[in-house]
Amino acid sequence: MNKQNNNLIETYVPQNEIIFSPIGGVGQIGMNFYLYGTQGKWVIVDLGITFGNAEETPGIDIILPNPEFVKKNKKNLLGIVITHAHEDHIGAVGHLWPQLQCPVFATPFASAVLRRKLKELKIKPKFLKTIGLDSNFKLGPFAIDVISTTHSIPEPNALGINTKFGSILHTGDWKIDPKPLVGKNFNQEKMKSFGKKGVLAIVSDSTNSNVEGHSGSEEKLRESLIKIIKKTSNRIAITSFSSNLARLETFAHIAKESGRVAALCGRSLWTMYKAAMDTGYLKNIKPFLDEREIMIYPKDQVLLICTGSQGEPRAALSRIASDNHQNIFLEANDTVIFSSKVIPGNERAITKVQNELKEKNINVVTESDEFVHVSGHPHVEELKKMYNWIKPEIVIPVHGEYHMLKSNVEIARKCGVKKGLILKNGLLLKVAPGEPKVLGSIASGRLMLDGKRIIPINEEAIKNRKKMLYNGTILISLLMNKTNKLISKPVISSKGFFNNENIKIYEKNLLSNINPFIKELGNKNFIDDLLKEKIKSFTHRFFRKALDMKPVVQIHIIKT
Ligand SMILES: [Zn+2]
The predicted pLDDT at position 391 comes to 97
90 Cα to the center of ligand 1, angstroms = 10
H helices present in 338-438, as ranges = 347-359, 380-390, 402-414
For residue 239, pLDDT beyond 70: yes
DSSP-assigned states of every residue in 274-301: HHHHHTT-STTSPPPEEHHHHTTS-GGG
8 Cα to the center of ligand 1, angstroms = 30
CA distance 483 to 127: 70
105 Cα to the center of ligand 1, angstroms = 17
151 Cα to the center of ligand 1, angstroms = 7
45 Cα to the center of ligand 1, angstroms = 13
The predicted pLDDT at position 461 comes to 65
What's the chain's Rg over C-alpha atoms?
A: 28
The predicted pLDDT at position 432 comes to 95
Residue 498: pLDDT band (50, 70, 90) is: low
Reported ipTM: the value is 1.00
Q: Are 281 and 242 in contact (CB under 8 A)?
A: no
Residues with CB under 5 A from ligand 1 (ion): 86, 173
172 Cα to the center of ligand 1, angstroms = 8
Q: Give 500-548 pLDDT, tens digit per residue.
A: 777 888 888 888 888 888 888 877 667 788 888 889 989 888 888 877 7
- Give kind and range of the element (H or E) at residue 158: strand 157-163
Residue 468: pLDDT band (50, 70, 90) is: low
CA distance 381 to 402: 20
Q: Which domains does the chain have, with CATH numbers?
A: 18-213+376-454 (3.60.15.10), 218-365 (3.40.50.10710), 461-559 (3.10.20.580)
Backbone angles phi, psi at 60, to 5 degrees: -115, 125
Bridge partners for 363 per DSSP: 335
Backbone angles phi, psi at 482, to 5 degrees: -65, -25
- Exposed e or buried b per residue across 99-122, where buried means at least 16 C-beta atoms within 10 angstroms of its C-beta: ebebebbbbbbbbbbbbbbbeeee
Q: Give 73-128 pLDDT, tens digit per residue.
A: 999 999 999 999 999 999 999 999 999 999 999 999 999 999 989 998 999 999 99
CA distance 370 to 365: 7
CA distance 509 to 512: 5
- Angle formed at CA 144 by CA 142 and CA 150, multiple of 5 degrees: 150
Q: Give 327-347 pLDDT, tens digit per residue.
A: 999 999 999 999 999 887 788
Q: Give 183-227 pLDDT, tens digit per residue.
A: 899 999 999 999 999 999 999 999 999 999 999 999 999 999 999
> Residue 137 burial (CB < 10 Å; 0-12/13-18/19+)?
middle
Task: Compute the Cα dihedral for 213, 215, 217, 221 and give only its sign.
Answer: positive
303 Cα to the center of ligand 1, angstroms = 26
271 Cα to the center of ligand 1, angstroms = 17
370: helix, coil or strand?
Answer: coil
